[in-house]
Amino acid sequence: MKRSRFTEEQIIATLREQEAGSKTANVCRKHGVSSATFYKWKATYGGMDVSQARKLKVLEDENARLNGQHPPTACPFRQCGQGCEVLPRLDPWIAETA
């Protein structure tokens, strides 16, 4: 993922500047960002303070790290890519006739 040019503090300061009454186009021009980027920031960081934004960043990083880990080869699904076989479904109400 591409690293942002702006820190959480700078993003929140930009959002607060617009909330204080400046026009969105002027704020975007002043900070060199597009209006799409500004509204994406507003959707992500709107209403947060700096400490909350830092906590969000830490949680997102931890989530990305944990999603990259795979369980050991005891995975019962073929889709995991580790060569596991799908376990047969055992239905206790139907007797096997094999």
Query: In the numeric block, which tokens belong to residue 19?
Result: 């909330």
What pLDDT digit, counting tens, does each position of 4-61 carry?
Answer: 789 889 999 999 999 999 999 999 999 999 999 999 999 988 888 888 888 988 998 8
The pair of structure tokens assigned to 48 is: 């947060």
pLDDT at 81: 56
Query: Is 45 contained in some domain?
Result: yes
In a domain, 54, yes or no: yes
pLDDT at res. 66 = 84
Expressed as residue numbers, the domain containing 16 is 8-80
**Residue 63 domain-assigned?**
yes
Structure tokens at 34: 């597009």
65 assigned to some structural domain: yes
Using DSSP's 3-state secondary structure scheme, residue 53 falls into helix
Q: Please state the pTM of the whole predicted model.
A: 0.59
Four-residue CA torsion sign, 50, 55, 58, 63: negative
Query: Can you tell me the distance from the alpha carbon of 49 to that of 67, in angstroms, rounded to the nearest whole number?
Result: 27
CA distance 40 to 4: 13
Q: How many domains does the chain have?
A: 1
Most confident of 27-36, 54-63, 77-86, 87-96: 27-36
| Residue 1 lies inside a defined structural domain of this protein | no
